[in-house]
Structure 1
C-alpha cells in the first residue's frame, strides 16, 4: 500500500507528460501529411516544441516519400519509453516485441482519438460559430476535411444536412473496436 501511494502519482505524471508530447508529435505528422498551413499559430507551436528531437532524428531516419518517418519513429520511441517506465514502476516485465506492439497499439488509439475529437469539435464549431475564422478551427477543418469528404461522396444528398461527421465518428469507433482489442491481446500474449 505504501508503494502505491507514491507510484500512482508518478505513473500519472509520466503518462500525462509523455501523452501530451506524443500528441504534439502526431499532430505535427498529420498536419505535415495533409500540408496544413504552417503559418498558422497552432502549427508554429507544434513545430517549435517538436523540432529539437526531430532535427536530430532526421539525420539518421530519412523520409519515405511524403511520409515523415522520423516523426512516426519519435512517437513510437516515446510511447515505448512511457510504457516501459510505467510498467517498470508497477513491477511488470514485458518483452521488447510485446512492448513495441503495445506502443504501436497505443499510438493507433491516439491517432483515432485525434480524429474523433477533431470531428466532434469541428461539428460543434460549425453549429455555434459558423463562418468565424480562427486558427484552431482552420487546423481542425484541415485535419478532418479529407476524411469527411470521403464520407460525403458515399452519402446521398440529404437536402443540405451534412451527416458526414456522424458517419465518420461511427466508422472511427468501429475501427477502434475492431482493430485495437486484437492488437492488445496479441501484445499480452507476447509479454
Structure 2
C-alpha cells in the first residue's frame, strides 16, 4: 500500500468510525427513549439527519424502532468496508461476505457502545452521582434499559448494584457467540 492509500485508509477508518458511532447512537438513544432535547442528542440528530431522512422515506419505523437509521448504519458500514478494501489494493469479496462482516461489525460496535457507556456510568456514579451534566444524563438514559432487567432479577445487596457485572458478562457472551465466529477482518470493519 502506498502513502496515499495509507492516508486514505486512516481517514476513512477514523471519520467513518465517528460517523457510524453517531448513526448507532441515534438508533440506540431513540430505542432507549432518551431525552430528545439534550444538546448532545440534538447534535447527533443534526449530524446524521441527511442520511437517515433519506432512508426514512423508504423504510418505516416499527413500534418505535427507527429501522431507517439501522439500515443506514449497515449500508454505511458496508460502503466503508468496500472503500477500505479498495484503498488496500485487495480484490473485493462477494457482497454476502461484506454484509456478514458489516452486521458483525455493527453488533460489535453496539456492544462496545454499551460496554463503554456502562463503564462511564459506573465511574460517574462514584465521582459525580448526582451530576446533571448532559453527557452523563445521556449515558444513564442509554444504559438504564440494559441494566433494568438485571436489577429486577438481582436482589438489593446493601446499596451495591451488581447488575453491571452481569451486563458485562452478557456483552462478552454475545460477542463470543455472535461476533467472533464470523471472523470479520478487523482491518476493514469499522468498530472492530
Could you tell me the TM-score, scaled by structure 2's length?
Answer: 0.90
Partner Cα distance (1:143, 1:48) in 2: 19
2 CA distance for matches of 1:68 and 1:31? 10
Counterparts of 1:67-146 in structure 2, within 5 Å, are: 67-92=65-90, 93-146=92-145
* Matching residue of 1:32: 30
Match of 2:11 in 1: 13
Moved over 6 A (4+): none
Which deviations, in whole Å up to 9, do the C-alpha atoms of 1:64-109 show, x marking residues without a partner?
2322111011101110010011111222221011111111110000
1:6 CA drift (Å): 3.2
Partner of 1:177: 176
Task: For 1:34 and 1:137, locate their aligned partners in 2 and report how far apart those are by CA, in whole Å.
Answer: 15
Secondary structure of the 2:183 match is helix
Equivalent of residue 61 in structure 1, options 51, 59, 64: 59
What's the counterpart of residue 168 of structure 1?
167
Residue by residue over 1:46-69, the C-alpha shift from the partner in whole angstroms, topping out at 9 and shown as x without a partner, is 111111122222112222232211
More helix by share: 1
Matching residue of 1:188? none
> Structure 2: where are the runs of 5+ without partners?
185-192
- Report what 1:46 is aligned to: 44
- Cα distance in 2 for partners of 1:24, 1:175 equals 22
Q: Counterpart in 2 of 1:157?
A: 156
Alignment TM-score, normalising by the size of structure 1: 0.90
Instruction: Give the alignment's Cα RMSD to 1 decimal.
Output: 1.4
Query: CA offset at residue 183 of structure 1?
Result: 2.2
Aligned length: 183
CA distance in 2, matches of 1:34, 1:47: 15
Distance in structure 1 (CA, Å) of the matches to 2:58 and 2:102: 22
